[in-house]
Chains A and B, each alone.
Chain A
Amino acid sequence: MPSTLPVGEPVPADGALPQSARKGTGDLGLYLHVPFCSTRCGYCDFNTYTAEELGPGVSRANYLETATRELALMQSVLGNSLRPVTTIFVGGGTPTLLPPAQFATFLDLVRDEVGIAPGAEISIESNPESVDAIDLEKLRAAGFTRVSFGMQSSNSAVLKTLDRKHTPGRVVHAVAEARAAGFEHINVDLIYGAPAESDQQWQESLEAAVALEPDHISAYALIVEDGTKLGAQVGRGEVQVADDDALAIRYLMAEEILSANGMQWYEVSNWEKPGGACAHNLAYWKSQDWWGIGPGAHSHVAGVRWWNVKHPVAYAQALEQGQSPAAAREILTSDQIYDEQILLGLRLRQGLSVSELTPAGLARGTDAVVEGLLEPADFEHGRAVLTLRGRLLADRLAVELLSL
């Protein structure tokens, strides 16, 4: 069972935006969700379906055809404010379960109908075992500039507890193949705190990841979600996962090893080599505009957030009937926009401008410098930037900066 959607207000059948959001400006991102996986991993609560789970009515073969209908909807809804996209991110699920040719067609369509800005970042997620050298060459040729591999761990026992199907060695080859195919920007995703993972194993995973010399590494703590197989196992006491203290230690290990290898954090869970930051990822934290295509995909345009119906069948049906597949939306109030700005901006290396803080928030910020949560030098220069300790307590500090 994938995670549940938020509660919001209804969206008009034609998907029309409220007046307030019809003048979107600045960078525009495009997200394409591919809701398929060959098997479901025990910890995953993303909106993705195996062939058996999916049922009749939707197939991998015609999925991108359906998705292009939403591209057309996007054109009509954005109307005058439609502009060439600066980032495209294809995520999942396991996008590379679909043949590269389909993505080539899709990107061509985007280029023709919407426009792709010069120098745009075009990323695709991939499981190491679901692509080969030829696929990667085709994806690069189709226009993708960046590939992200779900490495997760270098330890086969840990991969097994996560239900991942690839072998540690496959990642090494996949990265080499990507590089050979001409990808300059390569990311590997890591997960720490898996059941039975030791500090030692985590250290080995980090070292294995940097040895691949990607220009981007994401390291996420395993989150035990309700409604997942892992959640049930933890609930029954069958499996133990690392507690917050252990996760904190592993985060510090990540920072130590990654920074020692020429990488710098630019967001709490993301590290880059110079020039390697993911612009599409940053767009989320900066509340820029993006349109999410696909079942369960989230979008944001000028203070309006909406999300699509989750099931691929319901999604396809809405579009076939010429209607918006949006399940609900929220039109953010100025207070909500402010809260998000602090909450999200605080996570970034560039931090917040202290001029954005309320007097009470500024007072709390000043204390947070003394407590070692914010960088003193940056604060003096008008930026609230998290220290290493502060990164581990970012959510708490955000609440404090926003509480009067």
Chain B
Amino acid sequence: MSASPAPKPSATPPELLRNFCIIAHIDHGKSTLADRMLQLTGVVEARNMRAQYLDRMDIERERGITIKSQAVRLPWAPKAGPNADKTHILNLIDTPGHVDFTYEVSRSLAACEGAILLVDAAQGIEAQTLANLYLAMENDLHIIPVLNKIDLPAAQPEKYAAELARLVGCEPDEVLRVSGKTGEGVIELLDLVVDTMPAPKGDPNAPARALIFDSVYDTYRGVVTYVRVIDGHLTKRDRILMLSTHVQHEMLEVGVIAPEPVSSQGLGVGEVGYLITGVKDVRQSRVGDTVTTVTNPATVALGGYKDPRPMVFSGLYPLDGSDYPDLREALDKLQLNDAALVYEPETSVALGFGFRCGFLGLLHLEIVRERLEREAGLALISTAPNVVYRVVMDDGKEFTVTNPSEFPTGKILEVNEPVVRATVLAPSEFVGTIMELCQTRRGQLLGMDYLSEDRVELRYQLPLAEIVFDFFDALKSRTRGYASLDYEPIGEQVADLVKVDILLQGEAVDAFSAVVHKDKAYAYGVKMASRLKDLIPRQQFEVPIQAAIGARVIARENIRAIRKDVLSKCYGGDITRKRKLLEKQKEGKKRMKMVGRVEVPQEAFIAALASEPDPTKESGKK
């Protein structure tokens, strides 16, 4: 008997739909499994297949991570079981896989009824996966636990099946074992999605409500909005209304991804697809917002919408000052596709004209920076990332500080800093060293659980400022790479924070100002002063370097004046050699930035702003 014909978009009975996502950590094989599903369901022919089919950006492919989510419509008739040969529609909603994009993950999960929990059979579950699993369970998603990469020699399926079973609340033998690479077990997995995951439920006659779970800017088509219809029906003739932003848009196209875009008459209850409205900016079509129709609008928005809130700030400056207009243009362009990116012009004495940019987190910062450098061909300097401080003055005035150099002076009543709840998963042998690290980062232990005999989950409250710089690197190096980290903002706390300024010849260098805990101010000052002493070449005059809290100097170094800068001879009339040296020095001088009368090479700023080599790594080499 052959399978029933595949239902058409806009006319798919909800009971034949299965909307699901794959929860997995970077490198655990999600994209490979998705590739295999595309092949087995026949939507991509083998000859058109390329690796990581769904990841569109170069950066996504290179880093093996998904930054933007995407949904693909897969027809599947189970090979056996109660639904054998009955063609269903599976909507695989790909989710971002990193801590910075928790909100986007939560919206993708909200578009699904089920989730595949995919874990590397050689590595076990990681902290971010665990966090996303908890998120899925809170959303009442049906979970199918799956161990991937069972073909690997290092796979320990017994051990990790037990771990997953305990987390999900099933028997270890219910954990499916697959290999995305060889395809083993994937057919069974697709059958299981149809047989065990619930079909979407919604009111087909109610006013239309669709959840935006992603919004992507495309150069040719404008913003492509990915939605999951909850109630009612969207058709290609509708004028649509965004319930949170109250903007109306003309519908230009409706369709599904299969896996290339295919336009359709509309989208019905439970269906997943895309809308094109001619909007040019993703901020007008925001993730989490509810789409309804102008003619028959819903009144109640779907829950859970949040404005993206930048958590980490950094100044981005072009290495070559004349690139400033290009940087502005590149940021404008990037923002069309990134509703979470905020920026405003900023001037630094040391670095010239640039932008103070706000990001969801460190990865977001890194991705933006990398895209600016790669896609716009810009060479950039970024200042050390910092968090947002809320400073309350004695007179009750409040300041929101996103740039340490703008930290207010005067009588300060209190300084508030953001705090996060962090989860660290690691082999139990590292508990001591992790606790020690969190202690030095002003962490408070909230709790600790054993996931299995030798794997521990540690929960900490930590100031965000303590983890934005190099916490993850330190954690990795202290646990030989075994620890994983997830965190979520949980509010703010009052802390004993001070601004440390770095002065060259009495002049503060804005790029080096930092807000640090009082107990760490001295160490920061000493470190920066001695670093700069090594990085700044000797000048014609003595240059004092000072670290100061307000007017109080806490550390001091001196760059002695240069006494000799002349070559004594030329080599048998080899003037060419001497002139070429001069030309090189002239070039070098162009890259100097003036701080007062002091010439500072740009490389010195970059080196001083770069994170320092991890001391534990150094000692590990011995």
Interface residues of A (CB under 8 A from B): 3, 6, 8, 31, 33, 45-47, 91, 218-221, 223, 244-245, 247-248, 251, 268-269, 284, 287, 290, 292, 296-300, 305, 307, 330, 336, 339-340, 343-344, 371, 373, 391-396, 398-400, 402-403
Contact = CB atoms under 8 A, between A and B. Distances in A.
A395 B566 contact: yes
Contacts of B586: 399, 402-403
Contacts of A394: 565-566
Contact of A393 (B564, B569, B570): B564
Contacts of A284: 570, 573, 575
A223 B573 contact: no
A393 B572 contact: no
B409 interface: no
Contacts of A31: 572-573
B594 to A, nearest CB: 12
A402 B576 CA distance: 17
Contacts of A400: 589
A337 to B, nearest CB: 10
B582 A298 contact: no
Contacts of B583: 339
B220 interface: no
B577 A6 contact: yes
| CB-CB nearest 4 A-B residue pairs | A248-B563, A248-B564, A298-B573, A396-B565
B1 interface: no
Contact of B564 (A8, A269, A344, A392): A392
Contacts of A330: 576
A340 B575 contact: yes
Interface string B558-569: 001011111111
A298 B568 contact: no
Contact of B567 (A245, A298, A395): A395
Given A31-B573, A305-B575, A403 B563 contact: no
A403 B564 CA distance: 20
B563 A392 contact: yes
23 contacts: A6-B577, A8-B576, A220-B568, A221-B568, A223-B568, A244-B564, A248-B563, A268-B566, A269-B568, A292-B573, A298-B572, A298-B575, A299-B573, A336-B579, A343-B579, A393-B564, A394-B566, A395-B566, A395-B567, A395-B581, A395-B585, A396-B562, A403-B586
Contact of B565 (A45, A344, A395): A395
B540 A6 contact: no
B568 to A, nearest CB: 4
Interface of B: 540, 560, 562-583, 585-586, 589-590
Contacts of A287: 575
B564 A298 contact: no
Nearest to A397: B565
A300 B573 contact: yes
A290 B321 CA distance: 44
B582 A395 contact: yes
Contact of B540 (A33, A336, A396, A402): A396
B562 A393 contact: yes
A344 B564 CA distance: 17
A397 to B, nearest CB: 8
A269 B575 contact: no
Contacts of B579: 336, 339-340, 343
A46 B574 CA distance: 11
B585 to A, nearest CB: 5
B538 to A, nearest CB: 9
B579 to A, nearest CB: 5
A6 B580 contact: yes
B505 to A, nearest CB: 15
A305 B566 contact: no
Contacts of B578: 343-344
A403 B585 CA distance: 10
A292 B573 CA distance: 9
A33 B566 contact: no
Contacts of A223: 567-569
Contact of B569 (A220, A296, A395): A220
A361 B383 CA distance: 34
Nearest to A393: B565
B571 A399 contact: no
B572 A399 contact: no
